[in-house]
Structure formats: C-alpha cells, structure tokens
Amino acid sequence: MGDPRINSSTNQQVCDWLRANGVDPGRIPADPRASMTDGQLTLLSKVRGPHGGDLVSPDGLEIMTETITVPVTVPPPPIVEIWLAPKCPTCGR
C-alpha cells in the first residue's frame, strides 16, 4: 500500500491502522478509494491468484482488484482520518 500523496510517516501510520483492523496493506493499491461509514471500512484490495501473486486483468494492463468491507475495531487516528477524507470534489475520492 502506498499513496504517493502522503509521506512515509503517514503511510506507515495508515498501514499500521489497516493491520489493526485486519487488512493486509500489501494487498491495497495506491488509490484504494477507502471510505468509512457506520463503523465499516470499504476499500479496494488486490486479487491474489492461487499461488499468492497478484492477478492481472485479461488484457494484461492492470492488477485486478475487488471491493472489501471490514468492521473498524480500532478507530482511525487524526492522520488516517485525513487519508480517508474525500479529495476530489467531483467524484468524492
């Protein structure tokens, strides 16, 4: 997981928070389109193949993702709340 808009310290805090809530940051793409509503975290996760590697789309151009939702058991610290906040006024991400 790595968001190019945030520094390494913030990235580490986001990764720690994801782990604390049962999400493997290694499966999260750079733009996971994460949101939190009613105690649930929803975000994109890379799809793993049968041998543990990332699955690639049939056209070979992108890594396949799926939307996952997990309960938030550890509340986000302020820096993670900023990371979760919508950034695009048009699309909400």
Q: What is the pLDDT of residues 1-39, one digit of tens each?
A: 544 456 788 999 999 999 999 999 999 998 999 999 999
Q: Which residues of 13-46 are buried (b: 16+ CB within 10 A; e: fewer)?
A: bbbebbeebebebebbbeebebebeeeebebbbb
What does each C-alpha distance from 54 to 23, 35, 43, 47, 62 come to in angstroms?
16, 23, 17, 6, 10
What does each C-alpha distance from 10 to 7, 82, 88 come to in angstroms?
5, 10, 20
- Domain regions of the chain by residue span: 8-84
Token representation of residue 70: 């997990």
**Could you tell me the pLDDT band of residue 86, with boundaries at 50, 70 and 90?**
confident
